[in-house]
Amino acid sequence: MRYLLRRAAFYAVALWAAVTLNFALPRMMPGNPMQVLVAKFRGRINPDALYAYAKLFGLDRHVSLWAQYWQYIGQLLHGNLGVSLGLYPETVSAALMQALPWTLFLLGLSTLISFILGTLLGMVSAWRRGSFLDAVAPTVFTLTGSFPYFWLALLLLYFFAFQLPWFPLGHAYGSSTSGWSFANLPDILYHAVLPALTIVVTSIGGWLLSMRNNMINTLSEEYVKVAKAKGLSDRRIMMTYAARNAILPNVTSFALSLGFILSGAILTEVVFSYPGLGYTLFQAVGNMDYPMMQGALLLIALAVLVANFIADLVYVKLDPRARQG
């Protein structure tokens, strides 16, 4: 319990840091952000949107930075992320809420697949040291793990959507269907194949290699020898003796590497025009849509924090030492 409380306190501080960073970002721009915006858009910007933006960030009045800061936090607490400059008059929170499920779906699906596959492959290749699988799998997935996400995405797109028209060229669903419903699931899955494959192929190597290394360490432990001496079946030793302990560090790195995978997913979303948070963020950057950028960044940070907390809960469940500590 104390462990979880400590973690919760840490996430609170991290969230505060993310919020503060978000507050500081538009203010780090040289010069007056309003003037920059007006100059960038050369009159194409909606004056109402500009006014709403100025008001949200306290740029219209000469209030102290400190007062602006509290005002910003107050607005965040009310869930007010402002109005999008690019998609005016849509609010930032509405646009982000539309994008969030897609990212959760794509990232969740592919991370789960890659975690399970990688961990299993790592387990088996450590168990069969020096076998064909142990020689090939780590090498191949080291290589694919170094592929830049966006380049692999481009290649898959080129071969399996363009040369061989097996899969769609992008987007999360076809023109006939829209949004989430059970009936649309086949279509949604069909559109998710290539983006998910990109993320799985590039992230599987990490799980595989760390599981293999952990497993090699646990396999040389005394209790594994004892289990062997007792004449337990190989399968039982591998699964319930060695792998069970070897998987613990993988759960921790699962949480930590989520940020990395998320970064990759952003690039993947951009290549496939997949309407998730990454694509939204990318479009916001192109539109100089500061409220949207800030909102997306905050939501991504929040999502990673929540995912980490869930990983902590799992860890506590798996490792009795964490429960006491």
Residues at the interface with other proteins (CB under 8 A)? 10, 13-14, 17-18, 21, 25-26, 28-30, 129-130, 142-143, 145-151, 154-155, 157-158, 162, 205-207, 209-210, 213, 216-217, 220, 249-250, 253, 256-260, 262-264, 266-267, 270, 278, 281-282, 285-286, 288, 290, 293-294, 296-297, 300-301, 304-305, 308
Nearest to other proteins of 104, 288 (CB atom): 288
Per-residue tokens: 273: 């025009």
Dist CA 107 CA 112 (whole Å): 8
Rounded to the nearest whole angstrom, what is the least distance from the CB of residue 14 to other proteins in the complex?
A: 5
Nearest CB to other proteins, comparing residues 16 and 51: 16
Q: How far apart are CA 167 and CA 196, in angstroms?
A: 12
Report, in Å, the least distance between residue 163 CB and other proteins. 8
Q: Taking the complex as a whole, how short is the minimal distance between the CB of residue 288 and other proteins, in angstroms?
A: 7
Phi and psi at residue 91, to the nearest 5°: -80, 155
- CB of 248: closest distance to other proteins in angstroms? 13
Sequence-distant (6+) residues with CB within 8 A of 34 are 50, 53, 54, 59
Nearest residue (CB) to other proteins, 264 versus 275: 264
Least distance from other proteins to the Cβ atom of residue 183, Å? 32
Angle between helices 132-145 and 92-127 (to 10 degrees): 150
Q: Which CB atom, from 91 or from 119, has the smaller least distance to other proteins? A: 119
Instruction: State the Cα–Cα distance between residues 119 and 206, nearest whole angstrom.
Output: 9
Angle between helices 290-318 and 92-127 (to 10 degrees): 40
Cβ closer to other proteins: 242 or 270?
Answer: 270
Nearest to 300 by CA among 258, 256, 251: 258
**Locus of tokens 């503060």:** 20
Minimum distance of other proteins from residue 197's CB (angstroms): 16
Nearer to other proteins, 188 or 298 (CB): 298
Give the SS3 label for residue 261.
helix
CB 105 within 8 A of CB 278: no
